Amino acid sequence: RVLGEEHPDTATSYNNVGISYQKMGDREKGLQYQEKALEIRRRVLGEEHPDTAGSYNNVGISYQKMGDREKGLQYQEKALDIRCRVLGEDHPDTAGSYNNVGISFQKMGDLEKGLQYKEKALEIRCRILGEEHPDTAISYNSVGMLYEDLGKKKEGLAYMEKALDIRRKVLGEEHPVTATSYNNVGYSYTNFWNRHEKAAEYFHRAYLISRKHKGEENPTTKKYFTRWKECEKKASESHE
């Protein structure tokens, strides 16, 4: 009413409402608002603008969540293309786009191509954010899991241990995201290396952190507890 439809702030409001609907589980309505934000930004700001790239990215993620992976990839590749031109390669948002495109290829079954984009995101984040940054840890973890999917368990474990190391230093030992890394490394040890005693130590640590933050009855806490006890049992059986 005050600014009118054709205003950047109006587009931002549409985008924010769309994100809220997404969080509430109404993906269709969320997508409608995010597409409206993109439409306004293209008209008002033009294609070659970081906010327009942001809208392409958000719409792409929405399509991904709704199961339309090909359309999601198209929008995310468009966002990456704009960010490379407007922001340059060495920018956190460009790294984010490389990572998102990698996730899209991964979900579509093209693991090798997914790895190429995720490694590019990691390379940029290491260069501009440094090793000691939460986003760099995300990339190490993401690349590690993809290596495991490709059957490269040694590389996978090394990258996930690196992610854990960074998170312990940057976020702290008692952070829920650090617990996630403990869980991931534990999962690698038990499923790919059959080192159940070692895995139990990691799951136990993840469980303690999660219990502290989320409580005993939280589903994530329960998952870590179950994995810890299962690995303890397997370790005990292997010693018999």
Burial category of 235 from C-beta neighbours within 10 Å (exposed 0-12, middle 13-18, buried 19 and up): middle
pLDDT tier for residue 8 given thresholds of 50, 70 and 90: confident
CA distance 63 to 221: 31
CA distance 93 to 51: 11
The whole-number average pLDDT for the span 153-176 is 97
The whole-number average pLDDT for the span 97-106 is 95
- Rounded-to-5 percentages of helix, strand, coil across the chain: 80, 0, 20
Task: Supply the pLDDT for residue 237.
Answer: 87
pLDDT at residue 119 is higher than 60: yes
Q: What predicted TM-score, i.e. pTM, was given to this entire model? A: 0.89
Helices then strands (H, E): number in the chain? Answer: 11, 0
Q: Which helix (H) or strand (E) holds 176?
A: helix 176-192
